[in-house]
Amino acid sequence: TQLLEQSPQFLSIQEGENLTVYCNSSSVFSSLQWYRQEPGEGPVLLVTVVTGGEVKKLKRLTFQFGDARKDSSLHITAAQPGDTGLYLCAVSIQGAQKLVFGQGTRLTINP
C-alpha cells in the first residue's frame, strides 16, 4: 500500500490550460514536500509545506497543504511547455530524514 497516492498519474494538456494534481494519504504529516524531476536528472525541491491549510505560491504554481495535514495539491496556472516533468510529493517518516515519495504525476504540456 502506497503511503502517498498521487493523482492523476499521467496528464497531458495544452499550453495555457490550468491543472491541479493531488497527493493524498490517510496519515498525518508534520510537513510535505513537492519536487519536480526532469528526464535523466535528480528531483529538485519546489516547496515544503508545514502548516495545515497553508498555501504557498511559486510563480504560476500554487501549493496547498490540507487542513488535516493528510493531503496536498499543486495547481499550475497557464501551463507552459517548460512545466513538463514528473511531479513528486514526499514526506519524512519515522521522525528521521528518510523521504518516502508518491508515485508521481507525469505532466506533459503540449505547445
Partner 1 sequence: GAVVSQHPSWVICKSGTSVKIECRSLDFQATTMFWYRQFPKQSLMLMATSNEGSKATYEQGVEKDKFLINHASLTLSTLTVTSAHPEDSSFYICSAYGTPSYNEQFFGPGTRLTVL
Count of residues binding partner 1 (CB under 8 A)? 17
Residue whose grid cell is 495539491: 73
Using CB under 8 A as the binding rule, whether residue 103 contacts partner 1 is answered as: yes
Choose the stretch contacting partner 1; rule: CB under 8 A; options: 11-19, 20-28, 40-48, 60-68. 40-48
Nearer to partner 1, 85 or 102 (CB): 102
Whole-angstrom Cα Rg for the chain? 13
Q: Is the dihedral of CA 39, 63, 79, 106 positive or negative?
A: positive
Among 61, 76, 104, 109, binds partner 1 (CB under 8 A): 104
Using CB under 8 A as the binding rule, whether residue 58 contacts partner 1 is answered as: no
Choose the stretch contacting partner 1; rule: CB under 8 A; options: 22-30, 57-65, 66-74, 103-111. 103-111
Using CA atoms, how far apart are residues 89 and 99, in angstroms rounded to an integer? 10
- Write the CB contacts of 14 (distance below 8 Å, at least 6 apart in sequence): 109, 110
